[in-house]
Amino acid sequence: MNSLSGLIYEDFVSHFMPKDIDDKKVSNILKVIVVTIGVVATCLIFVIQHLGGLFALGITLSGITAGPLLGLFTLGMVFPFANSKGALIGSATSLVLTSFIVIKNQIYKASGIIHYPPKPLSVDGCISNSTNFIVDTIPKTIQTSSEDVFVLFRITHYYNTFIGVMILLLVALPISWFTRKDEEVDVNLITPPMRWAVPKRHAQRKDAISMEELAQLNGKK
């Protein structure tokens, strides 16, 4: 909590503080931030207990940002015609929609509408030395989710990152295509399997500039 308090102060609070602030005031502010973090963390216990295991919750929350981030890297490395407008609108759309999917999924989990029970660990009723699967040994009460819930909110949390990437690409690519301009593209920033998509005039223009700069450097020497 002390480390997190220092990060919060340095990245956010310090920008609103006067430059001549003394160390005692800074120490008091850090203590207040630490207490606030402790109170919030304690209150979150009553929320997390309804959201399932911590491992699944960590993957779920990380997928909200991991999807748009991976989508941005994929957009810039694979598609030469991608631009800032497509990246901005696509990432914002992906972040909002992925957050909405995750939040709705967590609400259904907390209310008990969606339930992911653990796999049965008991071997009672199994026949020894047999590879046959006994259907009757599976508890009849296992139900993965309610059929009344829209399928998008029943998808496992392992696909949140993939969903975020696909949303970003589906939004960013058309916007980038219709707002594209005849601009230079550095082929070194495009992944090698996709460099064929870079217009030749852009690649030649870059090569010509590089040769010209090399000639200038040789002339100075």
Greater model confidence, 126 or 152: 152
Same domain flag for 157 and 84: yes
Greater model confidence, 140 or 179: 179
Give the DSSP H or E segment for 132.
none
Same domain flag for 64 and 2: no
**Does 78 fall in a domain?**
yes
Measured in whole angstroms, the distance separating CA 35 from the mean position of its chain's CA atoms is 29
Residues 35-53 have a mean pLDDT of 82
Give helix 54-78 / helix 160-178 axis angle, nearest 10°: 30
Q: pLDDT per residue over 54-96, tens digit each?
A: 777 778 888 889 999 999 999 989 988 888 899 999 999 999 9
Residues 3-24 have a mean pLDDT of 91
Same domain flag for 12 and 113: no
Same domain flag for 41 and 64: no
Handedness of CA 26, 27, 28, 34 (dihedral sign): positive
**Does 215 fall in a domain?**
no
- Domain boundaries, position 34: 1-49
**Does 211 fall in a domain?**
no
Greater model confidence, 24 or 185: 24
Same domain flag for 17 and 95: no
- What DSSP assignment string belongs to 46-75? HHHTTS--HHHHHHHHHHHHHHHHHHHHHH
Greater model confidence, 132 or 88: 88
- Among the listed residues 114, 192, 197, 203, the one whose alpha carbon sits nearest the alpha carbon of residue 157: 114
For 156, the 3-state DSSP assignment is coil
Q: Is the pTM of this model over 0.75?
A: no
Residues 167-172 have a mean pLDDT of 94
**Does 203 fall in a domain?**
no
Same domain flag for 40 and 84: no
Same domain flag for 43 and 58: no
Greater model confidence, 166 or 204: 166
Share of the chain above pLDDT 90, in %: 33
Q: What's residue 218's pLDDT?
A: 61
Same domain flag for 149 and 112: yes
Same domain flag for 17 and 42: yes
- Token pair belonging to 220: 């100075």
Q: What is the mean pLDDT of the chain?
A: 79
**Does 127 fall in a domain?**
no
Same domain flag for 9 and 98: no
**Residues 6 or more apart from 158 whose CB is under 8 A from it?**
59
For 193, the 3-state DSSP assignment is helix
**Does 170 fall in a domain?**
yes
Same domain flag for 99 and 156: yes
- Count how many domains the chain has: 2
**Does 146 fall in a domain?**
yes
Q: What's residue 6's pLDDT?
A: 93
Helical H runs in the chain? 2-11, 23-48, 54-78, 84-110, 160-178, 200-220
22-26, 95-99, 205-209: segment of lowest average pLDDT: 205-209
75-79, 123-127, 194-198: segment of lowest average pLDDT: 123-127
Same domain flag for 9 and 39: yes
pLDDT band at 166 (very low <50, low <70, confident <90, very high): very high
Q: What's residue 146's pLDDT?
A: 55
Query: Is residue 136 over pLDDT 80?
Result: no
Q: What's residue 40's pLDDT?
A: 93
Q: What's residue 34's pLDDT?
A: 96
**Does 96 fall in a domain?**
yes
Query: Is residue 135 over pLDDT 50?
Result: no
Q: What's residue 7's pLDDT?
A: 93
